[in-house]
Amino acid sequence: MKKIFIKTIAVFIAIVVLVIVRTNTLAGAEYIPITTANTCLLLKITDKNRPEQTYFGKNIRNIDELKKLDAETFAAYTTAGVNHVFEAALRAIQSDGNTSVELRYLSSSTEKKDNNLIHTVISLKDEHYDLFVNIHYNAYQQEDILEQWVEIKNEQKKSIRLTHFASSDLSFNVSDYYVSHFYGDWANEMNIDEQHLTRGIKIIDSKLGVRANQFTHPCFILSLNEPAAENTGEIIGGTLAWPGNFRFCFEVDNYNKLRILSGANPYASEYTLEKGETLKTPAFLFTYSDKGTGKMTRNFHRWALKYGIKNGDKERSILLNNWEATYFDFDEPKLTRIIDDAARMGFELFLLDDGWFGKKYPRNSDNAGLGDWQTNRDKLPNGIPYLINECKKRNLQFGIWVEPEMVNPKSELYEQHPDWVIAQPFRERTEQRNQLILDLSNPKVQEFVYNTVDRILTENPGIAYVKWDCNRYVFNSGSPYLPAGKQSHLFFDYPKHLLEIMEKVSRKYPDVTFMACSGGGGRIDYGSMKYFDEYWISDNNDPIQRIFTQWGAQYFFPAIGLASHVSVSPNHISGRSTPLKYRFDIAMAAKLGMDMQPSQMTEKEYEFSKNAIQTYKEIRNTILHGDLYRILSPYKHNRTVWMYVDETKDEAIVFNFLIRKEVYPVPPTIVLQGLDPEKQYVLQEINKAPDNWSRFSKYEGKIFSGEYLMTVGLHFAMYDEMESLTIKLKTKN
């Protein structure tokens, strides 16, 4: 009887506390606005204590007007098991086996972190169980970016199991929905596909575990009512900041309402939370635009330069890489000659790629040595410090390649620790590129991976650049470390611990530039990019392919990180022969680098390349930090055009590429964007072909207002196969 009385009192106190919290937090204001300068996500607390989305779109001056009518609402974070029959954001198996979750509102808080960032937390609790959910929102005011993640905490006496744990749950109700996503494979990344959503479910996801973005990328574009356009229409762009498996679920119900669930992929990833444990989901970043995909892109780029990419306010160095010139076949004299050539041509950094390590099993091909990070003294008898010093003599920085998460079976590391790799017992250990993946759920492996990078940088002071590669995805997803009941944690724990390692390395070496490579576009996400200065979008430097790959990548990721290199011709992957100017122009449209070696060039090519590098140094600030405007799409036109405009609108760089030769072309009018209509601009072609002939001569040196260029535009022909033309606009002094 005493126990019943105590329990009754406890329940009564809990109810009183809940009422107080409810009264204090709402106090007549039953709405929670999440706003930026131009966007509003308005949440409403219903009379049943549930948070619901009542509005998402363009901000209005008087938000109170949105509260006047009893507008249609949608659950802000759906749960499975009771009244919801569609896909749910959260599904949990409670400690007693109950498979339902019913969340009730507890409180909310809003904190102004600084003049640009407002952080809001909405606290929820299951109405019966001690399962707590905090929904977090960061609202970046000037960039119009919203960031959302969820923290799920178990305070029950026994463990619970999470089977679904989305980061975001957004709803829409319009007549039509069009979704664009990005797909491809190695050497063919970031192709765009748009589809009309019909009733039912469309899933965009990855189950690769590691290098998770190889086939599709964790970003999408939703267009409301009509297909996506560059400068008009309502657009929602979303991307998940996560290097692991992801899932976007688009579900159009029987009433034509759309719900989008975004987050880590729950596939094979049931997660057990012990008492007191919390699972934090990846951050989902999204933005709203009422001016098409162009504004969406500029929102993300401006946010990335300040928050999303390491050292987004800094310059980037022009590098020469030895990879395509030597592959694994190099020695000290050969590398010294390349370093000397790099300095003479005007490069700022030399990057030593794969093949510099391995003692017992030297890394002379990709089938041995990975995991053994000792310098190969047969190739480099004086070690890495010798190469660093040779670079310093020539006023060059030095960079190095690593792949710390991987191991070759033919290595000392694997001989010592065969239990450190991801593999299922009793199953074949399947290799890709002759390598296996180290199990980052194991703390000893986490320590090894961190120590690998740390030791290389500590023992070789003066390394200024690290290319962090990752060349395969997961087969046989088993962990020798995790217990039987938690094997399904691997897909979530690997990227979680990887980000922890990256953060630790970045914190210790803030002045070292890091490139996220992953065999190309396999690891390009804003979870990783905050620790990386650059990203390698593709191993394929064929300029025709690069036009499409870079066009796709830049919908969400800025040029400042988009490393693009000039390669040899014929191209080593495509076999296609292309003009040197064409190769340079596409590489200069991003962050310029080179794999082609000066020693491979004719005298005329050498002179052109040297001049192009100098030209890039003069314009790279506008390209890397400016606003991107897409003018003509390569998907719709034989010619593609895009441009960058600097912050002051005093300089712009316009890139033109002819993709397919036209015998009788009808030249399009190139209507520029982003300029100041009141300013006067001098037009100049830059990076001219070696013969110095130009189709742009009628405009050369002439002055036009920004208004003219954005209204009347430019009109000139391009005929030749793989012809390119780069224009510089500079305000008249």
CATH of domain 630-731: 2.60.40.1180
Summarised one tens digit per residue, pLDDT across range 349-400 is 999 999 999 999 999 999 999 999 999 999 999 999 999 999 999 999 999 9
pLDDT at 18 over 60: no
pLDDT at 77 over 50: yes
Could you confirm whether 469 is annotated as catalytic? yes
% pLDDT > 70, the chain: 96
Q: pLDDT category, 662, cuts 50, 70, 90? A: confident
Closest CA to 87 of 147, 181, 167, 169: 169
Burial 88-106 (b: 16+ CB within 10 A, else e): bbbbbbbbeeeebbbbbbb
* Max Cα–Cα distance, the chain, nearest Å: 100
Which pLDDT score, from 0 to 100, does residue 279 have?
A: 98
Which pLDDT score, from 0 to 100, does residue 22 have?
A: 39
Angle between helices 603-625 and 332-345 (to 10 degrees): 70
Burial 402-427 (b: 16+ CB within 10 A, else e): bbbbbbbbbbbbbeebeebbbbeeee
CA 722 to chain centre: 29
Which of 66-80, 247-261, 304-318, 335-349 comes out lowest in average pLDDT?
A: 66-80
Write out the H or E segment, with its range, that includes residue 171: strand 168-172
CATH of domain 319-628: 3.20.20.70
pLDDT at 552 over 90: yes
Q: Phi/psi at 183 (nearest 5 deg)?
A: -140, 170
User: What average pLDDT does range 516-527 have in this prediction?
Assistant: 93
Q: Phi/psi at 311 (nearest 5 deg)?
A: 55, 45
Q: Which amino acid is at 337?
A: R
The residue assigned the tokens 């036109």 is 637
Which pLDDT score, from 0 to 100, does residue 41 have?
A: 97
Q: pLDDT category, 2, cuts 50, 70, 90? A: very low
Cβ atoms 92, 74 nearer than 8 A: no
Give pairs for 24-28: CB < 8 Å, separation 24+. 24/107, 25/106, 25/107, 25/108
Which pLDDT score, from 0 to 100, does residue 26 have?
A: 36
Sheet of 271-273: strands edge to edge? 90-93, 160-165, 271-273
- As assigned by CATH, the class of the 170-296 domain is mainly beta
Q: pLDDT category, 11, cuts 50, 70, 90? A: very low
**Both tokens of residue 583?**
């190769």
pLDDT at 266 over 80: yes
Which pLDDT score, from 0 to 100, does residue 725 have?
A: 97
pLDDT at 25 over 70: no
Which pLDDT score, from 0 to 100, does residue 421 have?
A: 98
Could you confirm whether 47 is annotated as catalytic? no
Cβ atoms 80, 91 nearer than 8 A: yes
For the beta carbon of residue 158, count every other beta carbon within 10 angstroms. Answer: 10
Which pLDDT score, from 0 to 100, does residue 61 have?
A: 84
The length of the chain in residues reads 733
Domain boundaries, the chain: 2-167, 170-296, 319-628, 630-731
pLDDT at 100 over 60: yes
Protein fold of 2-167: Beta-galactosidase; Chain A, domain 5 (2.70.98)
pLDDT at 17 over 60: no
Q: pLDDT category, 112, cuts 50, 70, 90? A: very high
Which pLDDT score, from 0 to 100, does residue 495 have?
A: 98
The CA R_g of the chain, rounded to the nearest whole Å, is: 27
3-state secondary structure 86-149: CCCCEEEECCCCCCCCCEEEEEEEEEECCCCEEEEEEEEEECCCCEEEEEEEEEECCCCEEEEE
Q: Which of the residues 205, 341, 354, 469 is marked catalytic?
A: 469
If you average pLDDT over every residue of the chain, what do you get? 94
pLDDT at 80 over 70: yes
User: What average pLDDT does range 243-270 have in this prediction?
Assistant: 98
The CB-side HSE value for 593 (13 A sphere, CA atoms) comes to: 27
User: What average pLDDT does range 272-286 have in this prediction?
Assistant: 98
Which pLDDT score, from 0 to 100, does residue 20 have?
A: 35
Which pLDDT score, from 0 to 100, does residue 193 have?
A: 97
Which of 57-61, 175-179, 442-446 comes out lowest in average pLDDT?
A: 57-61
Closest CA to 525 of 275, 250, 264: 264
Q: Which of the residues 126, 533, 539, 542 is marked catalytic?
A: 539
**Both tokens of residue 103?**
């969340």
Q: Phi/psi at 381 (nearest 5 deg)?
A: -60, -25
pLDDT at 664 over 90: no
pLDDT at 29 over 70: no
Which pLDDT score, from 0 to 100, does residue 212 have?
A: 97
- The 3-state DSSP class for residue 351 equals strand
DSSP 253: -
Identical fold for domains 2-167 and 170-296, yes or no, is yes
User: What average pLDDT does range 407-432 have in this prediction?
Assistant: 97
pLDDT at 19 over 50: no
Which pLDDT score, from 0 to 100, does residue 690 have?
A: 78
Cβ atoms 551, 659 nearer than 8 A: no
Summarised one tens digit per residue, pLDDT across range 321-346 is 999 999 999 999 999 999 999 999 99
Which pLDDT score, from 0 to 100, does residue 72 have?
A: 85
Which pLDDT score, from 0 to 100, does residue 184 have?
A: 96
Q: pLDDT category, 21, cuts 50, 70, 90? A: very low
